[in-house]
């Protein structure tokens, strides 16, 4: 098997190479003056199973190179081509909320299924899908970041209480807290339009002396986390540590969270960035090896 990193994924690819005890190559990539993409893979891929490493934050800028690289690997003789995509994009639009809307989750699933033999990803935001198999026609393995997050908290936080900002986060809260038998709570959240959110505070009195750790799968606008932080501070708890599986935030979001009163933001390295402190390579290695060898 050969590991091949798309642009922006070299650090994670190197960690995966160490975990799998194999070298990692990179796609040579640049843009022509007219905006078209140039790709080259210098490795010999004849009769080889290939794993392309490409997380898909900022998806519209990254997707063409991923599809081109998959075709290129096959053109160069690869017998099996997989995608290691820690953050899987285009899971939001899973039904038509208004007539004429595109079901982009299904369209994107068809694109990847047409180009790849297998997929490894981390905690996809499934919404109304029970599993990726509902829309993807390739072999897939979903890795949960919960063990890595729990181990990081164990090493860095004393007496934590895990707190989820909404009902959807309960699955991650339960999994992370359960590894070390920590207490946990989940806010009840109601959305009013695209941006306005109200929250009901759970019973925090029994755990008031513990360090709150807010955990969510995606950190993007940060509005829900900021509101949860204000509720916690108003209830007299310490400034919360915030942990996200996928850090899709920008500097503006980070500043807004700090202004709301968070102590710190930490994310996994499913998406590269300054807050990507929790390494997932150890969890990703086994499913990569298994699917590449099938």
Domain boundaries, the chain: 2-144+280-293, 146-269
- pLDDT score for 191: 66
206 pLDDT more than 90: no
Q: Which of 126-135, 144-153, 190-199, 245-254 has the lowest mean pLDDT?
A: 190-199
201 pLDDT more than 80: no
pLDDT, greater one: 192 or 103? 103
DSSP symbols for 120-165: EEES---TT-SSGGGT--SEEEEEPSHHHHHHHHHHH-SSEEEEES
- pLDDT score for 197: 64
Fold of 146-269: Rossmann fold (3.40.50)
- pLDDT score for 151: 98
Tell me whether residue 136 is exposed, middle or buried, using C-beta atoms within 10 angstroms of its C-beta: 0 to 12, 13 to 18, 19 or more. Answer: buried
What's the half-sphere exposure (Cβ side, CA atoms, 13 Å) at 18? 9
φ, ψ of residue 136 to 5 degrees: the values are -100, 140
CATH number of 2-144+280-293: 3.40.50.2020
- pLDDT score for 221: 93
What single DSSP character describes residue 281? Answer: H
pLDDT, mean of residues 216-221? 94
SS3 188: strand
Do 218 and 242 contact (CB within 8 A), yes or no?
no
pLDDT tens by residue, 2-47: 999 999 999 999 999 999 999 899 999 999 999 999 999 999 999 9
pLDDT tens by residue, 54-112: 999 999 999 999 999 999 999 999 999 999 999 999 998 888 999 999 999 999 999 99
- Residue 165 CB coordination number (10 Å): 24
Give the pLDDT band of residue 169 (cuts 50, 70, 90).
Answer: confident
Do the domains 2-144+280-293 and 146-269 sit in the same CATH topology, yes or no? yes
- pLDDT score for 80: 97
Do 165 and 189 contact (CB within 8 A), yes or no?
yes
Residues linked to residue 28 through DSSP beta bridges, in sequence order: 40
Tell me whether residue 277 is exposed, middle or buried, using C-beta atoms within 10 angstroms of its C-beta: 0 to 12, 13 to 18, 19 or more. Answer: middle
152 pLDDT more than 90: yes
181 pLDDT more than 80: yes
User: What tokens appear for 38 in the block?
Assistant: 């140039």
Quote the pTM value: 0.93
Q: Helices 251-260 and 223-234 meet at what angle, rounded to 10?
A: 10
Share the mean pLDDT of the chain: 94
282 pLDDT more than 80: yes
């Amino acid at each position: 098997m050969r590991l091949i990193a798309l642009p922006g994924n070299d650090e994670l690819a190197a960690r995966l190479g160490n975990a799998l005890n194999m070298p990692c190559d990179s796609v040579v990539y640049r843009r022509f003056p007219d905006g078209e993409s140039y790709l080259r893979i210098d490795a010999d891929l004849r009769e080889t199973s290939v794993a392309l490493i490409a997380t898909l934050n900022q998806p519209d800028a990254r997707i063409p190179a991923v599809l081109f690289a998959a075709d290129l690997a096959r053109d160069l003789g690869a017998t099996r081509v997989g995608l290691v995509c820690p953050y899987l994009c285009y899971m939001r639009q899973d039904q038509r909320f208004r007539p004429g809307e595109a079901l982009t989750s299904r369209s994107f699933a068809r694109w990847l299924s047409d180009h790849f033999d297998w997929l490894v990803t981390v905690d996809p935001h499934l919404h109304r899908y029970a599993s990726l198999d509902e829309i993807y026609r390739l072999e897939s393995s979903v890795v949960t970041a919960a063990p890595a997050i729990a181990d990081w908290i164990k090493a860095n936080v004393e007496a934590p209480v895990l707190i989820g900002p909404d009902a959807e986060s309960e699955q991650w809260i339960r999994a992370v807290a359960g590894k070390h038998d920590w207490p946990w709570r989940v806010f009840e959240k109601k959305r009013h339009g695209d941006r306005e959110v109200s929250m009901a505070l759970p019973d925090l009195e029994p755990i008031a002396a513990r360090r709150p750790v807010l955990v969510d799968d995606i950190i993007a606008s940060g509005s829900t986390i900021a509101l949860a932080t204000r509720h916690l501070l108003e209830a007299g708890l310490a400034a919360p540590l915030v942990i996200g599986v996928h850090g899709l935030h920008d500097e503006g979001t980070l500043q807004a969270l700090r202004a709301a009163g968070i102590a710190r933001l930490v994310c996994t390295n499913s998406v590269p960035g300054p807050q990507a402190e929790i390494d997932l390579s150890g969890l990703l290695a086994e499913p990569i090896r298994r699917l590449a060898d099938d």
